[in-house]
Structure 1
């Protein structure tokens, strides 16, 4: 039986052998939620890059440039990582180059060794779980966290995936058990549970409560973004 494990922060990724694993990158607030929503709404591709400066290399290719640091849009860029910037009206048929504080870094780290890298969010929870069941390979749920630290919201999503897969996979580590316990405690009121999180306090200062509530919606999307080369595209 394939196993499922949870890596609570990218700082721990080197501890996991992922060469034959599907890695699900998780950055609920807000990178992977926005990426999922953008691909669902017809974006041709999203290119995750590590640094703000890396976006500039694509400036003359007609792509939309999106950059976020510490929850805010970087001055001079088209938008950041609010899901409401990734509507069909804005992104359908377009390629977006994106850098964020945590999520795009986690994708690059995973891509160096993983069998496959896909993007997970509450918005596409069931689609991701159905795909993982079908593929029947080892799974690592990689929480992007906050600047290499543990965070609540990504761990909650990891727990939601473990809940759906535990009958079909071996639960491989204590991080998975903890994530599952946390999700089962919180799932009746995810937003209420996250009131206590450190990231919640950061986001309150940015006045983006609408973003937070949207990112906690379950199964709004069917699209699964998958990293192919340098681009995130819709999984065929």
Structure 2
């Protein structure tokens, strides 16, 4: 029986523990990093390179011709001078056949901190069903660690909801195959109570309210579209690439 454990914020990640045993990490930053990454790959990006901060982003950019990459990022929800804001709807218009170098306060940091896991999957509401389907095939994994990236206050409502949706897709009709920790079960129960209210749940969150104030309606709408993108992004050698597409699944 595989254990499903939920971390409520990136600060709970222990990089030494994630490297021990056969662990799969599933990283969520619903608003917005993992939605942006999935959307960018869907829109034709060659790859996405998640970095820890803007300084590292500029260093990585030196290794790629300027015409072949897009540098995007935010710090504490504010734009970074000279960077494209990491809006999936904006980046989608400019990313085809290019590399996305992405720096965010929480999501890309959580990805990098998870890199020691046996496999690292990038998940969000838009692709949770397909990531869950791929992980169901990973029978050798001992533990599935679901990581909510969190926000400036620590706990993130939208990531908790997204984690619940992922766990629903993973174990919804196969609960006997998984041992859910209390945190994982709490997320699942929260999601099940609001399964039909994805956009409103995201809009009610701290970051969602900020999006509403700053004309981020299109990004909020995209992030709330459960199962809209049939992609399974994985972190491999420091870069996020698309693995084989998932298959059509029922639990969306």
TM-score (norm 1): 0.92
Matches for 1:166-181 after TM superposition, within 5 Å: 166=171, 167=174, 169-181=177-189
Task: Give SS of 2:121's match.
Answer: strand
Q: Which residue of 1 aligns with 2:221?
A: 213
Local SS of the residue matching 1:25? strand
Q: How many pairs were matched up?
A: 233
Gapped regions of structure 1 (runs ≥ 5): none
- For 2:25, the equivalent position in structure 1 comes to 23
The 2-side partners of 1:32 and 1:192 are apart by: 19
State the partner residue of 1:132. Answer: 135
Q: Distance in 2 between matches of 1:16 and 1:179?
A: 25
Q: Is 1:5 the equivalent of 2:5? A: yes
Secondary structure of the residue aligned to 2:135 is helix
Among 149, 161, 164, the alignment partner of 1:159 is 164
Partner of 2:96: 92
Q: Is the 8 A contact 1:171 1:177 kept in 2?
A: no
1:182 aligns with 2:169: no
Moved more, 22-31 or 60-69: 60-69
CA–CA separation in structure 2 for the residues paired with 1:96 and 1:193:
29
Residue segments in structure 2 that go unaligned for 5+ positions in a row: 245-252
Query: What value does the CA root-mean-square deviation take over the aligned residues?
Result: 1.8
Q: Tell me, in whole angstroms, the C-alpha distance in 1 between the residues paired with 2:221 and 2:118.
A: 32
Moved more, 164-173 or 174-183: 164-173
CA displacement at 1:18 relative to structure 2: 2.9
SS of the equivalent of 2:30 reads: coil
Task: Give the CA deviation at 1:6.
Answer: 0.9
Structure 2: distance between partners of 1:37 and 1:21 = 26
Is 1:59–2:64 an aligned residue pair? Answer: no
Partner of 2:18, secondary structure, is coil
CA contact (8 A) 1:74 1:80 kept: yes
More divergent stretch after superposition (156-165 vs 188-197): 188-197
Q: Distance in 1 between matches of 2:213 and 2:161?
A: 22
Aligned mates of 2:114, 2:123 — CA distance in 1: 14
The one-character-per-residue Cα deviations of 1:152-184 (angstroms, maximum 9, x if unpaired) are 101111111212222154233110111011101
Aligned-pair distance for 1:15? Answer: 9.2
Distance 1:103 1:72 in 2: 15
Contact 1:11 1:148 in 2 (8 A): no
Q: Which residue of 1 aligns with 2:122?
A: 119
Q: Which has the higher helix share?
A: 1
What residue is the counterpart of 1:108 in the other structure?
A: 112
